[in-house]
Structure 1
Amino acid sequence: MKVFSFFSGSGFLDLGFETNGFDVAFVNEYDSEFMRAYQYARQNMGIEPPEYGYYRGDVNAFLTDAEKRDELSRNIEAARARGELVGFIGGPPCPDFSIAGKNRGREGDNGKLSLSYVNLIVERKPDFFLFENVKGLWSTKRHKAFFEELKNMVHAAGYSTAERLTNALEYGAPQDRDRVLFFGIKNELLGKNHMGNELIDFPWLRYQIYTMEEINAYPWPENQDFVEGGTRPVPDGIPEELTVQYWFERNHVETHPNAQHHFVPRAGLAKMQLYQEGDVSKKCYKRLHRWRYSPTAAYGNNEVHLHPYHARRLSAAEALAIQSLPEKFVLPSDMTLTAMFKTIGNGVPYMLSSGVARTIHDYLDEMVIGQ
C-alpha cells in the first residue's frame, strides 16, 4: 500500500502510516524548515527516504504545472503496475477553520488549500484518501457547509466516504485535541460491498482505547500549589498512560536531544511561579499538571504552556512527548524555536495517526484485498 503525503509538516501523520503497514512513497511540504525536520527525524529513526522523493512547494503545482502533474501521474501508475493500492493522506493548513484562529474559512489562503487537496483527489483518483482537519470545519455552520461541498465532490468522483470527529485522548495520546477525520475509497474497489456513498460500517472504534465518557469520569487531581522540583505520587484511579508525566518518563525528556530547546518568557521567573500546577484556565499561561493530560499542543504567542514542576516553558522534547511521538523522533538542533514549536503544534498526535492508520489498513485488507 503506497501513500502519497501532502501538507506533510514534519511528518507526525505520516509516521503513523509508516509504522503500520504503509509505504510513504512521496512527500510534499511547503515550509523548508518543516521539510528539513521531516528528513532529519526519519534519518535519525532509520526510515528509508520515499521512493518518489520530496517536493518542497505549493500543492497547487500538481494541478497547474504540466510537468508536476505528469510526474505525479507516472508515479501513481508505476505503483499500480506493481499491484499496489495508492492512497493520498494530508491535513491542509487549518487556521482558517479554527475557532481560535483566523476563521476566514474557504476564502482564506489556507482554507483554499482544502479545496486544492480535494481537487487533487478528484483529478488523480487515488484508490483511497485521508483528509484531516480541525473541529471547526465541522462545528461551525458555514465551515460545515463547505465541508459538505467537498464531500459531494468526492462522491460525484466515484468515492464512498466515512467521517468522524475524534479526540487524541481516545487513542492514548496525553492531549485533549479534536480532529475531523474524513476517509474515502473508490467505489469500484468495494465491488459487492458498495452500498451507497456512506461507509456506515467503517470501523473507526477498532483501535480506540478509551471513550470520552470514560476519560471525563476519571477522578483527575485538582490544581495544586506549584513547587519547584516537587514530587507527587500517582493518584489512585486514573489511567497513568494518559498523563503528561508518564510520557515525560517514557521519552526520557530530560536527556532527549531537544531537552534544552525552550523559550524564556520576558516576564521571567517571578510570573511563572504564580500559577498552580494544573491551572489551565487562563487564555495564555497554562501550567500543566503532571498527572493529567495536556490541553491541545499549540505553542504560539497565545498559548504558553508551563512545566508542571519547573519554572519554565515546556521544552521541545516535552512537547514532542505530549504529541505521543516515539523517543527517537528528534528535531534538528539548529532549527529555530519558533519553527520547532510551530511544527510540533501543527502535527497530528502520533498515537492518533497510528490508530487511524491501523484502522484503514485493516479496512483495505478486509474490504478490498480480501475480496
Structure 2
Amino acid sequence: MSTFTTTIREIADQLSISEQRARTLCREGLINSKKYGNTWLADQGSVDKYGLSTAHTIAEDHPAYNVNDTNKPIALSFFSGAMGLDLGIEAAGFDIRLACEVDKYCRQTIAINRPNTALLSDINDYSASDVLNAAKLTETDEIDLIVGGPPCQAFSTAGKRKGFNDDRGNVFIKYLDLAIELNPKFIVIENVRGLLSCPMDHRPHDQRGEGFPDLSEDELKGGALNFVLSKLKSSGYSYSFNLYNSANFGTPQIRERVIIICSRDGNKPPFLLPTHSENGDHGLPIWNTLEGCLDYIKSHNHLNFPEKRLKYYRMLKPGENWRSLPIELQKEAMGKSFYSGGGKTGFLRRLAWHKPSPTLVTHPAMPATDLAHPEEDRPLSIQEYKRIQEFPDNWELAGPLVQQYKQVGNAVPKSLGLAVGKTIMSLIKGKTFSSIQNFKYSRYKNTCDSSWELEFIKLRDAKQKSAPHEELTLF
C-alpha cells in the first residue's frame, strides 16, 4: 500500500503555508513525495517531521509509544532540553522512558529524534500519577533514575542571584518534590557552579553591613543548596556532589557543572570516575582537543560576524584574542571596554586547535563571548557546536539557527552524562566502584560535598555568634 496519500491542500493546512509553498517543498525533496500526473502526494510521516524541524508543527504532549518489556533500567528526564545529558544516560544502558521540557523548539527536537519517548511540557502542570501514566508505568513499577537540570539562570553568577524566589527557582522545588514522591532508586540534579554559593533569598549589597540587620539563614551564601540537601536528607536520600569539568570525562570542551547524585538506600554515592586529565596525571589520557573533533564535517550552517569585527579577526591566529593585536588596534577594537576591568578574554576570541573549546554559549557571535573558528573568519557552525557537545551528526535540531545554537549551548555534554549513567548503573548492579585518590575535579575550592559542608558550617557558626538567639539548621 502506498504511503503517498497526503495532498497538497492537506500539507498546506497542516503547516499553515500556501499551496504553492507546499508544492515547492515537494519539488525540492524537502518532503518525501511523488507526482502523479499533475498531482503531488506526500508521505504523512515526512510532512510531520518537516513540520517539527521547522517549527511549523507543535510537539504535543503524548505518552510513551511502543514500550518494550526490556531489562533496561528505567529513567525519567526533566528539563530535558535537546537531550544532551539524556544521550549520555541512554548510552550507559538506561531506557529514557519520558522527557519533560517546556521550550517549544527543544520539544520539537525531542519529538523528531525520540518519537517514542513520552513527552510532557511544564513540570508544574503534572502530578506523580500523570508522570507514571505518561511513562506507561504503574505505582508498583520501580523507577531506577530520575534526572534533571532545573533552569540554571536563577543560580548563575552572571544573573541577579534570586535563587528560589525566582520563578525558575520554584520549578527546582517542584522537581525535588515530584522526584521524591516518585521515589526512584536514584535522583540526579545538574546545575551551574552558582548553585554552590547562591542564597535562598538574596539581599542587595547596598542593604548589608552597618545599620542593617544581620543576614538570615536564607540569605547566607550557599543557603539554596543547603535547603536542597536538607530536603533530600529528610526524605531519606543520601547524596554526593562535586563540580565536574566535562573535559575530565573526554569532552573536547571546558565546561563545569555541579552534579548531585542522590541514593534512596542511604549509602553515599561515589564521585564520577574521570577518564582524562589536563596533563596526563594519574596515568589518564590528556584532555581531548578541538582539533580532534572537527574533522570531516561536510557542510556548515553558521551566523556571521559584522564586518567591523572581521577586520580584526583577519589579523588573529588560532588561540589569539584582542590582546594579540597591536596596542593601538586593541584600543580601537575594544573602545570603552579597553579601559574597563576584568579579563575580557571572550572578546575577539579565536579558538585554539590544541586545546579543548571554552564553554559553549547560547550565541557564538556576541561581542563579549565570541567563539570564532581557529582559522576561518566566522563563528563556530552549528555542526561544530554539535561535535563539541558530542551530539550525533544525525541529531536533528528544530527551529531557526539561533534557536539551534541555544539548544546545543545549554546542553550537558554526552560524555559527562555517560559518566553519570555509568556510575549509577554500577550502583544498581552492585559492582565495585573504583576511584582515583586526590583527583582534582575543579580549579575552585570547596566544590565537593564534604568541603562545601565544612565551609557552610563556618558561615553558620559565624552567624550564630553574631545572633546567638537564632537557630540555623544544617542538613
TM > 0.5: yes
Shift of 1:140: 4.7
Q: TM-score, normalising length from structure 2?
A: 0.61
Question: Unaligned 5+ residue runs, structure 2?
Answer: 1-72, 200-219, 322-343, 433-475
Asked whether the 8 Å contact 1:299–1:305 carries over to 2, the reply is no
Structure 2 CA distance for aligned equivalents of residues 345 and 143 of structure 1 = 28
Letter in 2 for 1:316: I
- 1:254-265 matches, within 5 Å, as 255=298, 259-265=300-306
The structure showing larger relative contact order (alpha-carbon pairs under 8 Å, at least 6 residues apart) is 1
Give the SS at the match of 1:180: strand
Shift of 1:320: 1.1
- 1:290-301 matches, within 5 Å, as 290-300=353-363, 301=366
Of the three residues 282, 300, 322, the one matched with 2:388 is 322
Letter in 1 for 2:159: G
Asked whether the 8 Å contact 1:122–1:153 carries over to 2, the reply is no
In structure 1, what is the equivalent of residue 225 of structure 2? Answer: 147
Give the SS at the match of 1:296: coil
Structure of larger gyration radius = 2
Shift of 1:356: 1.4
Asked whether the 8 Å contact 1:174–1:294 carries over to 2, the reply is yes
Asked whether the 8 Å contact 1:170–1:211 carries over to 2, the reply is yes
Asked whether the 8 Å contact 1:137–1:143 carries over to 2, the reply is no
Of the three residues 279, 283, 288, the one matched with 1:242 is 288
Match status 1:36 vs 2:108: yes
In structure 2, what is the equivalent of residue 133 of structure 1? Answer: 191
Structure 2 CA distance for aligned equivalents of residues 98 and 297 of structure 1 = 15
In structure 2, what is the equivalent of residue 78 of structure 1? Answer: 137
- 1:189-338 matches, within 5 Å, as 194=266, 199=268, 202-206=269-273, 208-212=274-278, 214=279, 239=286, 242-249=288-295, 252-253=296-297, 255=298, 259-265=300-306, 267=308, 269-279=310-320, 282-300=345-363, 301=366, 302-332=368-398, 335-338=399-402
Structure 2 CA distance for aligned equivalents of residues 76 and 307 of structure 1 = 42
In structure 2, what is the equivalent of residue 169 of structure 1? Answer: 247
Q: Which ranges of 4 or more aligned residues in structure 1 deviate by more than 6 Å?
A: none
Structure 1 CA distance for aligned equivalents of residues 221 and 112 of structure 2 = 36
Shift of 1:122: 2.5
In structure 2, what is the equivalent of residue 224 of structure 1? Answer: none
1:126-152 superposed Cα distances (whole Å, 9 cap, x missing partner): 221110000111145656221111111
Match status 1:182 vs 2:260: yes
Letter in 1 for 2:361: A
Q: TM-score, normalising length from structure 1?
A: 0.77
Match status 1:109 vs 2:167: yes
Question: Unaligned 5+ residue runs, structure 1?
Answer: 43-47, 63-67, 188-193, 218-237
Shift of 1:205: 3.9
Give the superposed CA RMSD: 2.6
In structure 1, what is the equivalent of residue 37 of structure 2? Answer: none
Of the three residues 96, 102, 116, the one matched with 2:154 is 96
1:180-217 superposed Cα distances (whole Å, 9 cap, x missing partner): 00111213xxxxxx45xxx1xx33243x11245x3699
In structure 1, what is the equivalent of residue 420 of structure 2? Answer: 356
Give the SS at the match of 1:27: strand
Count of residues paired in the alignment: 313
Q: Sequence identity, in percent? A: 27
Identify if the C-alpha distance between structure 1 residues 216 and 325 changes in structure 2 by more than 3 Å, giving closer, same or farther: farther
